[in-house]
Amino acid sequence: MGAAAVADLIGLGAEVHVIDLKAPASEVASHQAIDLRDPQAVGEAVERIGAPVDALFNCAGLAGPPFTGLDVMLVNFAAARHLTGLVVPLMAAGSAVVSVSSAGAYGWEQSIGQVEGLVATPGYVEAREWCEEHPEVVGEGYLLSKQAVALWTMHAAIDLAPHGIRVNCTSPGPTDTPMMPSFESYMGKEFMDRFPKPLGRNSTPEEQAHVLVFLNSSAASYMTGSNVYVDGGFSAGMLTGRLDFSLLAGGAPVGA
């Protein structure tokens, strides 16, 4: 999704800087091979990019083995929040942040007690300590990390609204990215194949990227604190009771 967003942004004439262990497929203004689990390295990368920053896209993600639940939590939530905190001082009014949650976190509001303590931690170090102290809650990490992204997005939107900075997230349904084999490995291919898809197929990375770019554009200038489901109708089916919730029995994490 991040790679597709980069392609969209370059096509629109943006100056794009990438912080990722993997080299981007597109020609960008700069690329820094940084492990997001290293908060000092992330800070140094942001300093090298400098101001101004008009839009931040938190698209990096991990899921399942060989990564531990802690690794998944650190990249999917703690690092995204940490990076955002470093970039916000470089942003002017009218700037925006978007992060990727997951349709797999659908219904997270009913388990808000699991994540509010984590989201309330003041920084990266404290978030890591919280995760290390709550291994039974963290589990495989994916579901909790995506729930945390959704809740944090709403808090950050209110915190940054006085500065004119918008914060949103998307909740993708199953998407054909290089992460899909990881989901099929630890969730089971059969489970992923029978995940409810009203449109009858997985999303493409480009379909997810278009929405990410929209949310960070002036076309979405009155949207903040939104969790936009880009899931081919999954959440609509769940809310109306027209999809079989038993397919997701056990709270298993499914998503992009």
pLDDT of residue 155: 98
Q: What is the DSSP letter of 140?
A: T
Residue 146 catalytic?
A: yes
Q: Containing domain of residue 51, as a range?
A: 2-245
Q: What is the CATH number of the domain that holds 7?
A: 3.40.50.720
Q: Which of 113, 100, 107 is nearest to 239 (CA)?
A: 107
**Which residue is catalytic, options 124, 142, 197, 229?**
142
Q: Is 227 contained in some domain? A: yes
pLDDT beyond 90 at 168: yes
Phi, psi of 242 (to 5 degrees): -95, 0
* Residue 106 predicted with pLDDT over 50: yes
- Domains contained in the chain, number: 1
Q: Quick: pLDDT tens for 32-62.
A: 999 999 999 999 999 999 999 999 999 999 9
The string of pLDDT tens digits covering residues 62-91 is 998 889 999 999 999 999 999 999 999 999
Percentage, residues of the chain above pLDDT 90: 77
> Given this model, what pLDDT does residue 254 score?
41
Q: Are 147 and 227 a contacting pair, CB within 8 Å?
A: no
Q: What is the pTM of this model?
A: 0.91
Order of strands, sheet of 227-230, starting from the edge strand that comes earlier in the sequence? 55-58, 96-100, 166-172, 227-230
Is the confidence at residue 131, as pLDDT, over 80? Answer: yes
User: Which of 146, 189, 197, 229 is the catalytic position?
Assistant: 146
Q: Assess if residue 252 is contained within a domain.
A: no
Q: How confident is the model at residue 253 (pLDDT cuts 50, 70, 90)?
A: very low
Residue 142 is a catalytic residue: yes
Is 255 part of a structural domain of the chain? no
